[in-house]
Amino acid sequence: MTETLERTTPAALQYSTENCQIGRALEILGEKGAFIVLREAFNGVTRFDDMQRHSGLSRQVLSNRLALLVDQGILRRNAYQDNGSRTRHDYRLTGKGIDLYPTLAALSDWGARYCADADGPAVQIAHRGCGGQVHAALVCDVGHPVAAPRDVAPQPGPGARRVMAQD
């Protein structure tokens, strides 16, 4: 079916994406394997060899992503020494890294709905102590329940910049 309609230019095109915080976050997190490394870190897998075996990432990709995430202050590199062995390093989430938990939880929820086997998701997130399952939800600051994702919409934020010229 082909629609013929008067075009409404999307409002978003009036604004630049050059300082978009989502784009900037994705300059880090959009690198292939970055979220897989974070999944390992959230799972308490902190050592290079364990991460490599558990994630299946190549050593080169894993090494590059760890360096990026350390450089960006998302992981902290920490020296350790097993009995008699040489000094090695492990990688743990910083506060900035732990603040990615809602993103990981949202990915996990979506994956549980659309990518899991019939017997259910391989991993879930629990509330410490209480044991309840934890999910990532859209929450309205004013306190209204957000019934469905269709009830929300993006809009220019305080840092939005108008596009100067259209060619």
Footprint (CB under 8 A) of its own copies, residues 147-166: 149-161
SS3 59: helix
Closer by beta carbon to its own copies, 44 or else 60: 44
What is the distance between the alpha carbons of residues 36 and 126, in angstroms, rounded to a whole number? 20
In whole angstroms, the minimum distance from the beta carbon of 96 to its own copies comes to 6
Answer left, alpha or beta for residue 120, where phi above 0 means left and psi between -120 and 50 means alpha.
left
Write down the least CB distance from residue 59 to its own copies, Å: 17
* Footprint of its own copies on 68-127 (CB under 8 A): 78-83, 87, 96, 98-117, 119-127
Judged by CB under 8 A, the number of residues near its own copies is 109
Residues 43 to 72 in contact with its own copies, rule: CB under 8 A: 43-46, 50, 53-56
Place of tokens 């629609």: 3
**Using rule CB under 8 A, residue 17 touches its own copies:** yes
Q: How far is the CB of 65 from its own copies (least distance, A)?
A: 11
Question: How far apart are the C-alpha atoms of 43 and 105, rounded to whole Å?
Answer: 12
Count, residues in the chain: 167
Nearest-5° Cα angle at 54, 119 to 111: 40
